[in-house]
Structure 1
Amino acid sequence: MLMLGAAVALGLAVAGGATWWNYPTAQSETVPDDDLPVPPVPPRIAEGEDYDKCLSMVQNDPSGAFTFADTWQTGGGGDGAVHCRALAEIELGDPEEGAALLDELGNKNTALPAARAAILGQAGQAWMMANTPQHAYDSATKALALLPDDPDLLIDRAIASSGLEHYTEADDDLFRALDIDPRRGDALVLRAAARRHLEHLDLASADVERALELDPEDPDAFLERGILRQRRGNVSGAPSNTNILE
Structure 2
Amino acid sequence: MRIRLPLLLATGLALAAAAGSVAWQAREDAELPDTIVVAQVPEATAEPTPETLPLPPEIPRIADGPDYDRCLTLLRNDPHEAMRFAEAWDATGGGDGSRHCIALAMIGLGEAERAAERLERLGNGSRAGGIARAQVFSQAAQAWMIAGDANRAYGAVTIALTLAPNDTEMLVDRSVILAALRRFSEALEDLDAALALEPERAEAWVLRAAALRRLDRVDQAFEAVERALTLAPDNAEGLLERGILRQLRGDIAAAQVDWRRAISVAPDSMAADLAQQNLELSEMGPARR
Q: Deviations over 1:189-220 (max 9, x none)?
A: 01110110000111110110000000111111
Letter of the 1:219 partner, please give it: A
Unaligned runs of 5+ in 1: 20-24
1:8 to 10, 16, 20: 16
Query: How many Å apart are 1:46 and its aligned residue?
Result: 1.4
Letter of the 1:8 partner, please give it: A
CA 1:33–1:74: 2 relative to 1, 3 Å: closer
2:52 is equivalent to residue 36 of structure 1: yes
1:143-182 aligned at under 5 Å gives the runs 143-182=160-199
Query: How many Å apart are 1:30 and its aligned residue?
Result: 4.4
Q: Which is worse superposed, 234-243 or 154-163?
A: 234-243
Q: Which is worse superposed, 5-14 or 160-169?
A: 5-14
Q: Larger C-alpha radius of gyration, 1 or 2?
A: 2
> Any conservation in 2 of the 1:195–1:201 contact (CA below 8 Å)?
yes
Query: How many Å apart are 1:32 and its aligned residue?
Result: 7.4
Unaligned runs of 5+ in 2: 28-36, 264-271, 277-289
Q: Deviations over 1:88-134 (max 9, x none)?
A: 11223332222221121112211111101111111112222222211
Letter of the 1:160 partner, please give it: I
> Any conservation in 1 of the 2:68–2:98 contact (CA below 8 Å)?
yes
- Residue matched to 2:284: none
2:39 to 4, 9, 18: 18
SS at match of 1:217: coil
> Any conservation in 2 of the 1:124–1:137 contact (CA below 8 Å)?
yes
2:222 is equivalent to residue 205 of structure 1: yes
Q: Distance in 1 between matches of 2:135 and 2:75?
A: 17
Q: Distance in 1 between matches of 2:45 and 2:70?
A: 31
Query: How many Å apart are 1:229 and its aligned residue?
Result: 1.4
Letter of the 2:236 partner, please give it: P
CA 1:54–1:158: 2 relative to 1, 3 Å: same
Could you tell me the TM-score, scaled by structure 2's length?
A: 0.77
> Any conservation in 1 of the 2:62–2:96 contact (CA below 8 Å)?
yes
Query: How many Å apart are 1:77 and its aligned residue?
Result: 1.6
- Residue matched to 2:269: none
Letter of the 1:36 partner, please give it: T
Q: Distance in 2 between matches of 1:14 and 1:162?
A: 9
- Residue matched to 1:88: 105
> Any conservation in 1 of the 2:44–2:146 contact (CA below 8 Å)?
no
- Residue matched to 1:71: 88
Percent identical among aligned pairs is 43
- Residue matched to 1:22: none
CA 1:219–1:113: 2 relative to 1, 3 Å: same
> Which consecutive segments of 4 or more residues in structure 1 shift more than 6 A?
none
Letter of the 1:119 partner, please give it: V
> Any conservation in 1 of the 2:120–2:156 contact (CA below 8 Å)?
yes
